[in-house]
Structure 1
Amino acid sequence: MDAQLADVEAGKRFYGELFGWTFEEALGSSVWALLDDEPVASLAPKVDGRMPTVWTVSFATPDAAALGRRIAEAGGQVVMAPFPVGDLGTAALAADPQGAVFGLWQAGSHPGFGRRHEPNTFVWVELYTRDTAAANTFYGALFHEALFGAGAEPDFGRADVADVFPVEMPPHFVTHFRVADLDDAVGAVQRLGGRVQVPPFETSYGRVAVVTDNQGASFAVLQR
């Protein structure tokens, strides 16, 4: 997953303080976010100021072009066709039939997360959608083995957008980071210049708050 930010240096200060991440140069002006020297995310500069300031989760695939075709056939859209990212892999950007945007990642030398499901790393992504049955059909068909296969570790859910957000909020993904203490994490977000978008609430997978960083990128913190 990666954050598209107007100011990567400000992002390093915010997330470094919040999660204890360190950083090293990646490709171009992007940086790896590391926890104990293992990659947990990346921060990248927005190439166009009109682009949203967001966290984007990418689903692993052995063939981004083939998956893109299946997405289009299922009523979704390929927003950005597959393109090489040096020798790291091939990336693409897609949207589901309701408009929720997600990435695709065909690994080269970079397989993805070095650590996850631990404090201060990725733990969950929730799709907030207007039609949960349609989402089940779309994502189940695309990613059945990854989501439901033997030994799969759950880290993806979906809910009605109106359960948490105002009814006019468009469908979207919210990336969740695990924290040891939710209240402490929310306090740190506010102290660092971020804000609370949705106050703490209970879910089937833990206690969650949706927040934004000091540049407006939304994410969630989760205490399991």
Structure 2
Amino acid sequence: MTDFPEGAPCWADAMFKDVEGAKTFYSEVLGWTFGEASSEFGNYTQAYSDGKAVAAVVPPMPGGDDMPSAWCLYFASKDVNKTAEKIKAAAGTVLMEPMQVGTFGSMAIAKEPSGAVFGVWQPGDHRGFEKVAEPGSYCWAEVYTREPGKADSFLQAVFPYAAQKMEPGDDPEAQGMDFKVFSLGGSDSPVLGRMKMGSEFPDEIPSYIQVYFNVENCDDAVAKAKKLGGQLHFGPMDSPFGRFAALTDQQGAAFAVIDMATRVGDMPEMSAA
């Protein structure tokens, strides 16, 4: 089982009013199966791909029925209390103070200064993803923000990231794009992207973290999502990283799918940020 370094994305879960509906949706789109709900921990239910834990779904906490459905990405921490203090010192907000979750580990929920919500996970018995970057599992994430300066400085203050900026080169679609990649252990170990939100994003959409799941066929996954009431917002589009699309499920939770085996074009140049 993988041990995730400080600052690496290590887990993802989502809250749904209709948990059974979510299970049906992601079973069809991503091929997931689901374990038994843990009544001791708010009916938290793990999802599996090929028998390996890849995510979880959970109903709203008491009084949280008005909260929108959304995926939450967790970053690994060796000491969740220290990470929470770093978050506060870097102008972030701790929405849920560090708490222990049985023998599984300890968690906190926070918001970076431009508004994207994320989790922090200090592992115990539950280490995190048991499968990554394979069909049916998490593979990438990007922070979407209208205030990239705030997000960038925060991320590097809280986690040991090195940053690189993507150069647009001759690609007309990349002109004016403000995109950074954050890495751990050298520039060849990227763990997170950051994209500046442009005018194509409606004003009511706040900063958020887009979670990508790897699929064998992007177009098939999109077709299944639409058949089950999901909405397509972007793509499918070819890229040097894979063929991808941005979606929301039938309950409004945003996510993306990418076929990492289908790559088109040259990798963009990166420069020190």
* Both proteins in one fold, TM over 0.5: yes
Q: Which runs of 5 or more structure 1 residues have no equivalent in the other structure?
A: none
Are the counterparts in 1 of residues 86 and 157 from structure 2 also a CA contact under 8 Å?
Answer: no
Aligned to 2:98: 82
* Structure 2 counterpart of 1:79, one-letter code: L
Q: Which of 176, 192, 195 is residue 212 of structure 2 equivalent to?
A: 176
1:139 aligns with 2:155: yes
Tell me the SS of whatever aligns to 1:10: helix
Aligned-pair distance for 1:203? 5.2
1:154-211 superposed Cα distances (whole Å, 9 cap, x missing partner): 2310101117623542111111111122111111100122111233345563332111
1:149 aligns with 2:185: yes
Aligned to 1:59: 75
Q: How many Å separate the matches in 1 of 2:240 and 2:144?
A: 15
1:32-73 superposed Cα distances (whole Å, 9 cap, x missing partner): 101111100001111110112010000010111110111010
* Structure 1 counterpart of 2:244, one-letter code: V
Aligned-pair distance for 1:150? 4.1
1:97 aligns with 2:113: yes
Q: Identify if the C-alpha distance between structure 1 residues 124 and 65 changes in structure 2 by more than 3 Å, giving closer, same or farther.
A: same
1:39 aligns with 2:53: yes
Q: How many Å separate the matches in 1 of 2:236 and 2:129?
A: 27
Are the counterparts in 1 of residues 92 and 110 from structure 2 also a CA contact under 8 Å?
Answer: yes
Tell me the SS of whatever aligns to 1:25: coil
Aligned to 1:14: 25
Give the structure with the larger helix fraction. 1
1:205 aligns with 2:241: yes
Runs of 4+ in 1 over 6 A off after TM superposition: none
Tell me the SS of whatever aligns to 2:190: coil
Tell me the SS of whatever aligns to 2:198: helix
Aligned to 1:165: 201
Aligned-pair distance for 1:136? 2.1
* Structure 1 counterpart of 2:211, one-letter code: T
Aligned-pair distance for 1:214? 1.6
Q: Which runs of 5 or more structure 2 residues have no equivalent in the other structure?
A: 1-11, 162-181, 261-273
Q: Identify if the C-alpha distance between structure 1 residues 152 and 113 changes in structure 2 by more than 3 Å, giving closer, same or farther.
A: farther
Q: How many Å separate the matches in 1 of 2:97 and 2:140?
A: 26
Tell me the SS of whatever aligns to 1:139: helix
Q: How does 1:209-224 map to 2 (within 5 A)?
A: 209-224=245-260
Aligned-pair distance for 1:223? 2.1
Aligned-pair distance for 1:122? 0.4
Q: How many Å separate the matches in 2 of 1:187 and 1:210?
A: 12
1:129 aligns with 2:166: no
Aligned-pair distance for 1:222? 1.4
Q: How many Å separate the matches in 2 of 1:136 and 1:12?
A: 34
Pick which of 148-157 and 35-44 moved more. 148-157
Aligned-pair distance for 1:119? 1.1
Q: TM-score, normalised by structure 2?
A: 0.77
Are the counterparts in 1 of residues 142 and 194 from structure 2 also a CA contact under 8 Å?
Answer: yes
Aligned-pair distance for 1:135? 2.1
Q: How many Å separate the matches in 2 of 1:116 and 1:163?
A: 33
Pick which of 145-154 and 119-128 moved more. 145-154
